[in-house]
Amino acid sequence: MTKKKDKKKKKELELEMREQAMVEGILEGSPDGVGVVVVRLDCGCRKMAAVTKEGEPASKVIMYRDHAESICDKCKDDQGAFIRVIEQFIHWQDPQPDQALQEMISQKVLGTATPTTH
């Protein structure tokens, strides 16, 4: 595996304020959770779930939509299909797991060691 350090530095994905509140709520309800997978869909809905340090689900998958009582019809239909994912990343709880563990979990949960954007 080659690493190109001089390439443009990778985009940092950060939580939006509303996501932050959701993430905190999820982690509170998931004592085994070391982080929360955040999936942003093209329709504006969000999909989140806590993960354990083994990369297993630590909560059920939560879907929501800002300023709406429920998720959109598309999501009701396909449950936020992978093909519509715009961004996905894991927000780690403090203290963050070490780098190797983060990569292991990302690999398992997202299928890649780095956050993806389309």
Binding residues (CB under 5 A) for Zn ion: these are 43, 45, 72, 74-75
- Nearest-approach distance from CB 42 to Zn ion, in angstroms: 8
78 φψ region: left (φ > 0), alpha (ψ -120 to 50), beta (else): alpha
Residue, CB closest to Zn ion: 45
The SS3 call for residue 82 is helix
Name the residue nearer to Zn ion (CB basis): 53 or 74.
74
- Nearest-approach distance from CB 37 to Zn ion, in angstroms: 17
- Nearest-approach distance from CB 24 to Zn ion, in angstroms: 22
Whether 37 and 85 have beta carbons less than 8 Å apart is answered as no
